Chains A and B, each alone.
Chain A
């Protein structure tokens, strides 16, 4: 039994009121933690007391849960309400989930990113559901003049067992809304969960497949104009002049202007290489697109043009001679390399990547000097609102940012520069507009996954024991190295060093930042070291985990070796690892990031000399699985996305310009390149849930490279793999 507090220092996480139209309304803080750790309790953020989500229990017994969280495809609009419904004890079929009328004043903690939503929301959601249930029971107890403890509930019905009387939540809702919120509340024992753990369909499934207007790009308001921008074709260039008069006179065009969105105050969410852009406003999308095509623009250089060869050279140089930041040192790695019987050294690299959400960036804005109304897909509405307030000098109270469903995020929609552009265009023209990026604008705008390079070294002694390990990693605008991740903690002599290089190409978070590259590099390297040590790759890893369990080196190790080993053992057993099948080439990989452990085995076959991924086996430890249906879908998505980007995708530069501008030249994984089958297994351990939007992506590139090695005898050090001239069979 877990008891949680609904109040802290006399301030409450919950608020009850009568619902308009009858019934009870319980407001709660979506992302508060009602079981704060000591450190959290000391710094208890104000926002934990902001009431930002609601449960309404109608007199008809229907329960409406107003979910404030942005939905970017992680299915949290289904899984989070499931948690509330579980503790409330109502039938899922009587639950309606509504996207709350969102605005940044009420919903300060809205952010979807880092797979954090479920992890952060778990306790608060359970508390809210349990509290509402308790208050309904209390109302019934008063009515019947019995004790609360003599009552039980089942799917929205309160029962007094002794007298066999029953009453529905709906009947008690109005009365319950007049009661005090209890101070302590008991949560269910996870073994009694009835909704959590049941495969549950996406609540918006029906709307999605019928083409309902859910997305930002679908938003329309009477009198709204369409707008597009033209940013400079190369990083390092700025606007000099353009054929403004010609464009202005084109059919359907009402305004042509230059907008500047350079923020007055730096904010992490304001990544934008092109702060000065040309904006065109007109009646229809096609008219504006045509005007955009007719632009003749003069650009001038502002900073030096970069290209992919430069990057390659500079990254290699930075690994060799760049300024090093010592990130972690255990024992003496250099000494271990000197003493070693065998030293393995390999360098891995990966290119820039674009986000390529299928819905390009867009935003609606209706902005005047006094107020700003923004509507669209954004993962960080609060930050966008602040930046707009700053940029246009509009008091923050008068700025609203409302959310639509998002056609993918993957980190791109953490950076709201398109919202700033939309707001500025509307402000300057005095018209409500919807800004739309073309795919080309979207792919060339520059919030990229940066290019990386990492060098690993491993020292084996004469008994083939790993005695030394080092990692040196560099990247554009930052190193990909996580110094405290595995195998740190399992090797007596360990060294991690970070370097980075500068660039005028802007970069940002991309699905599982840094892990998306480093996991595959590390797992390919370990495969090679295991081979050099003459060990099975799974046994080799398990030996290392065993060391970290029994005799951990250092104190900052960022993982639990027991859980790590657990997923690896699970995937080993499920995939029958060790049993060889003729013509099937297998690779294994395991990684821990975003609080979730993942291990994967990838089976490759050759069909007419071409590779085909026959099956991916994936074991996951993400604690309690709230919605297996959604969780498996997320896991599959991460795997396919991870295979696609490691294998095919590549963004390169020539004279400052991205060479790939649309899907004719930028390769995305396609249907026939996806695995024929993916099977997902979860570790059942009752631990609080962690996220799934990201963790299955990083390791899969390692399993893929290791399987290709089995099929071809070639180790792959450079992404995208497809460009490495692999000779299969």
Chain B
């Protein structure tokens, strides 16, 4: 076990965990932030997507010891955010009633938000390329794409 100070959703938290613990399990087990989901554990499904300094990462495959003082943002952080982008994305998800079972959606939203941050007006191909790592067994892909486009339209 080792002690870490990590910056999560704008506040610093003290953690006592094995250094190789993936960020995913620190969030879920140590911090009770369970909006970030486990789906595969090997960076293949995107359910665990969070932002590290604003970029999307697969938290199941990043050890807590490598995070240092970089900023982690989770779905809980996004959902409380007062930023324009985050709110537009959330609104778009609700407008298009995207979720079915809902399990993959926090990862989808985290990835979509990261995409729109660097590319506020993505083409279909941009969206496909950025989102391809996020699996949805319920098959909500077309709605996700529509939601991203709706959000983009409001950003530009």
- Residues of A near any B CB (own CB < 8 A): 72-75, 201-202, 204-206, 208-215, 217-218, 220, 226, 251, 284-287, 289-290, 356-360, 405-410, 436, 438-439, 629-630, 633-634, 636-641, 644, 662-664, 668-672, 674-678
Contacts of A408 in B (CB 8 A): 101, 103, 137-138
Contacts of A218 in B (CB 8 A): 34
B44, A662: Cβ atoms closer than 8 Å = yes
Contacts of B1 in A (CB 8 A): 251
Contacts of A410 in B (CB 8 A): 137
Nearest-neighbour CB distance to chain A for B52, whole angstroms, equals: 17
Nearest-neighbour CB distance to chain A for B92, whole angstroms, equals: 10
Contact of A636 among B35, B129, B142 (CB under 8 A): B142
B101, A438: Cβ atoms closer than 8 Å = no
Contact of A668 among B35, B38, B42, B137 (CB under 8 A): B137
Quick one: closest B residue to A697, CB to CB? Answer: B139
Contacts of A641 in B (CB 8 A): 137-139
Contacts of A669 in B (CB 8 A): 139, 141
A284, B40: Cβ atoms closer than 8 Å = no
Contacts of A204 in B (CB 8 A): 99, 102
Nearest-neighbour CB distance to chain A for B139, whole angstroms, equals: 3
B101, A358: Cβ atoms closer than 8 Å = yes
B103, A671: Cβ atoms closer than 8 Å = no
Contacts known (A284-B17, A633-B143); A211 close to B36, Cβ less than 8 A: yes
- Could you list 4 further interchain pairs (A-B, Cβ under 8 angstroms) beyond the known A407-B103, A662-B42? A211-B75, A359-B103, A408-B138, A641-B137
Contacts of A409 in B (CB 8 A): 101
Contacts of B21 in A (CB 8 A): 284, 286
Contacts known (A358-B37, A439-B40, A637-B139); A210 close to B79, Cβ less than 8 A: yes
B100, A671: Cβ atoms closer than 8 Å = no
* Interface residue count on the B side (C-beta < 8 Å): 60
B102, A674: Cβ atoms closer than 8 Å = no
B128, A671: Cβ atoms closer than 8 Å = yes
B17, A640: Cβ atoms closer than 8 Å = no
A629, B97: Cβ atoms closer than 8 Å = yes
- Residues of B near any A CB (own CB < 8 A): 1, 17-18, 20-22, 25, 28-30, 32-42, 44-45, 47, 74-76, 79, 90, 93-94, 97, 99-106, 109, 124, 127-129, 131-145
Contacts of B103 in A (CB 8 A): 215, 357-359, 407-408
B132, A672: Cβ atoms closer than 8 Å = yes
Contacts known (A73-B138, A286-B21); A211 close to B104, Cβ less than 8 A: no
Contact of A217 among B38, B44, B74, B133 (CB under 8 A): B38
Quick one: closest B residue to A616, CB to CB? Answer: B142
B18, A287: Cβ atoms closer than 8 Å = yes
Nearest-neighbour CB distance to chain B for A437, whole angstroms, equals: 10
B138, A637: Cβ atoms closer than 8 Å = yes
A286, B17: Cβ atoms closer than 8 Å = yes
B138, A285: Cβ atoms closer than 8 Å = no
Contacts of B124 in A (CB 8 A): 676
Quick one: closest A residue to B125, CB to CB? Answer: A672
Contacts of B144 in A (CB 8 A): 671
Contact of A358 among B33, B41, B136 (CB under 8 A): B136
Nearest-neighbour CB distance to chain A for B67, whole angstroms, equals: 15
Quick one: closest A residue to B63, CB to CB? Answer: A286
Contacts of B20 in A (CB 8 A): 286
Contact of B33 among A202, A211, A630 (CB under 8 A): A211
Nearest-neighbour CB distance to chain B for A213, whole angstroms, equals: 5
Q: A630 to B76, alpha carbons, bound, how many Å?
A: 25
Q: A215 to B39, alpha carbons, bound, how many Å?
A: 13
B132, A671: Cβ atoms closer than 8 Å = yes
- 25 A-B residue pairs with Cβ-Cβ distance under 8 Å, sorted by A, are A205-B93, A208-B106, A209-B109, A211-B33, A211-B79, A212-B35, A215-B37, A215-B103, A220-B34, A226-B29, A284-B17, A285-B25, A287-B18, A290-B18, A358-B138, A359-B101, A407-B37, A408-B103, A633-B97, A637-B139, A641-B139, A663-B135, A671-B131, A671-B132, A672-B128
Contacts of A677 in B (CB 8 A): 142
Q: A210 to B139, alpha carbons, bound, how many Å?
A: 20
Nearest-neighbour CB distance to chain A for B145, whole angstroms, equals: 7
Contact of A73 among B45, B102, B127, B133 (CB under 8 A): B102
B142, A668: Cβ atoms closer than 8 Å = no
B34, A211: Cβ atoms closer than 8 Å = yes
Contacts of A212 in B (CB 8 A): 35
Q: A644 to B40, alpha carbons, bound, how many Å?
A: 18
A217, B100: Cβ atoms closer than 8 Å = no
A358, B39: Cβ atoms closer than 8 Å = yes
Quick one: closest A residue to B22, CB to CB? Answer: A286
A671, B141: Cβ atoms closer than 8 Å = yes
Quick one: closest B residue to A212, CB to CB? Answer: B35
Contacts of B101 in A (CB 8 A): 72-73, 357-359, 405-409
Contacts of A640 in B (CB 8 A): 139-142
Quick one: closest B residue to A630, CB to CB? Answer: B97
Quick one: closest B residue to A439, CB to CB? Answer: B40
B135, A75: Cβ atoms closer than 8 Å = no
